[in-house]
Chains A and B, each alone.
Chain A
């Protein structure tokens, strides 16, 4: 009983930082509609900045002063990010901004590495709270008790700000209809900046306040990001009490998980989330999202059309050129292009779901990595030949997509996105923690192609045929009646329903199809590398695909593979440098600002302006 109670207290203490970060994310999303992927990075910055301040400032006042100052400084960094990176892209298509925030993650990672170095920092203990208290004979750190006491005050202050002050009223009004708030004379830009400051300051505060418990390291940003997303989704986007309750649930669960089921800690959190969303699709205290109903921005979408003769010839020529690579190029080029081709198919499969279906998935890596693991497991345990494994990979990934899609499609919008992320993480944690079967962190190795395909050249041609075929198949599907129905469901699900289209089923099929195609890419990936590790299922992998699709151009058919090719090639080049993340991050931000319609969309515009391409609509 004593141990139980002590663990409960630890959970409550851990909930503090989690709540602060989650409420900041929730606030920012509510007003700006930006899913701030970089929120974990602000949390990490809070820890590092706090650490440095604590070295300088002495005593009890110094410690708590450092925590507060860290929050303010991180808030100001958030303001800089908002003004320099996000303001230029508010008018871009919805969700495009999240690519920019991903760029911010990379930049902050490398800047932190530059300033504070790669060593993990051990957090200083809070002066005056270094001891432990015996509660029911169990030791409980004093600092934990302090955190348990402080968090409700932070929560109350936030609640007061949001419900009782004019600023809070404006924030809540803007959450619902920001265009109308502007028409009533409120300068939205400053409202946005203010909310960003507050949200980032909360994240920074969370990072600084947990220093005595967790210290500071370079993996903090992604580590907290998943929990924060889960908390926000369970609590309901935009709900402060929801965020608090969910933070407590998740933290307590984690503490108990560690002591009673150490192998399932990571899985538990997502299981809770899935269960909550099954019964309350918008979280415990959330409301249905009406994003985009008012204040829809950007010009209307163009109808997609089959490629003209010119483009077809161009593609054919490009394929021939690709086919010549093993003959002309070096062995390195062959391997690199194989990687790029595989990634292109993966990106194209997400593009299909996202662009054609409007289904924004944050967890597409589940099917890429899933396919990879299916193939690897069959080869390892059943000595399945490559040919069969390459068929089983998409089947396995497709089956997973059928199941995951069934659950995820009960939600829409950002909840859908979060659910897909949760499932991807669920798969990742399964693979990561179930080491006996999957090899855990060590992965599965020695998975090589059949003898006939074992040379790089033959495997290259195999990849070229399968990937080009897969991309063409996805393209073909977009032009088929199924593709029409899918776009109808995306653009106007009610009208589509009224016309007799079962929109949910169409989306489900699209989800499964895209999953299977990602599985094909995953299968090829295993055999090209000879091994697979859990990081193929990671969030970072899902985000890679997402970034690529947005950078390529969501509203174009070819955005996926064009973005994929550019991204992989650039990444391959940049990773040779020490601070490649910084360079890649800045590059991503630059593309987002300069080409808000993605590479393909912007090139097309440029072509039309210069007269190289005809605009079909003008001709009519």
Chain B
């Protein structure tokens, strides 16, 4: 469904991603693992074309999307949930959802506000509140809900478990599995191996922008030395 081929990305002269190549299969949950600064967020942004890769291609459903404007990538069915959340703090919860709204997409769930409030009951009570009044966990939920309003086929979740309370992390894991059951494909980045283990089918590990491992969860468990070398457990 999504394929990266020797993707390279730079910030000015700094080489951030180095020949990244992996695929995300339809209906799968893939975890992109790595330490802080490994290049996880840049990978996500390169897929969305918010950072334009210099070299390599990103293709989605067989179509080369490299060099597209981010809004075109989103319209094609990729939903991006940024790590820093970036909700619109001056807008209400409902208005935040409105920004994300896109027409229904064939073969995907057509989300409505009510369905999302069912998925995230905490948000339902706060629908009229401004984004800035929400807690960190609620903001994280709102970011996911806002992206789902675009009825994406593939969701890019950048560190969904970061900086939120353990109870909510657990809730997040449930949500991701629910999305998978609905037929969504998910690429999520994580530092938290436990969280990834709970939801992912496949794992990609990167370190300093270079790919160190790609395989199933079982493969990774068979090689504890890889885990110890590249992940802080």
Contact = CB atoms under 8 A, between A and B. Distances in A.
B98 A183 contact: no
A170 B82 contact: no
Contacts, number: 67
A294 interface: yes
Contacts of B48: 183
Interface in A137-190: 166, 169-170, 172-173, 175-177, 179-188
Contact of B146 (A166, A184, A617): A184
B100 interface: yes
A464 B69 CA distance: 51
7 contacts: A173-B88, A176-B90, A180-B82, A183-B71, A184-B147, A185-B150, A617-B13
Contacts of A299: 12
Interface residues of B, number: 27
Interface string A282-302: 000001000000100001100
Interface of A is mostly: helix
A181 B100 CA distance: 8
Interface string A173-213: 10111011111111110000000000000000000000000
Interface in B90-108: 90-91, 95-96, 98-102
Contact of B88 (A166, A177, A183, A186): A177
B176 to A, nearest CB: 20
A170 B99 contact: yes
A185 B88 contact: no
Contacts of B91: 169, 172-173, 176
B39 interface: no
Contacts of A177: 86, 88
Interface string A449-463: 000000000000000
Interface residues of A, number: 23
A173 B146 CA distance: 12
Contacts of B102: 184-185
A188 B95 contact: no
A299 B69 CA distance: 18
B70 A183 contact: yes
Nearest to B45: A183
B88 A179 contact: no
B74 interface: yes
B71 to A, nearest CB: 5
Interface string A558-594: 0000000000000000000000000000000000000
Contact of B86 (A166, A175, A180): A180
Contacts of B147: 184
B75 interface: yes
Contacts of B50: 179, 182-183
A181 B150 CA distance: 12
B90 A300 contact: no
B89 A169 contact: no
B80 interface: yes
Given A169-B98, A300-B11, A617-B13, A185 B86 contact: no
Contacts of B88: 172-173, 176-177, 180
Give the interface centre of B90, B146, B147 by most chain A CB atoms within 10 Å.
Answer: B90
Contacts of B96: 173
A172 B90 CA distance: 8
Contacts of A186: 71, 99
A176 B74 contact: no
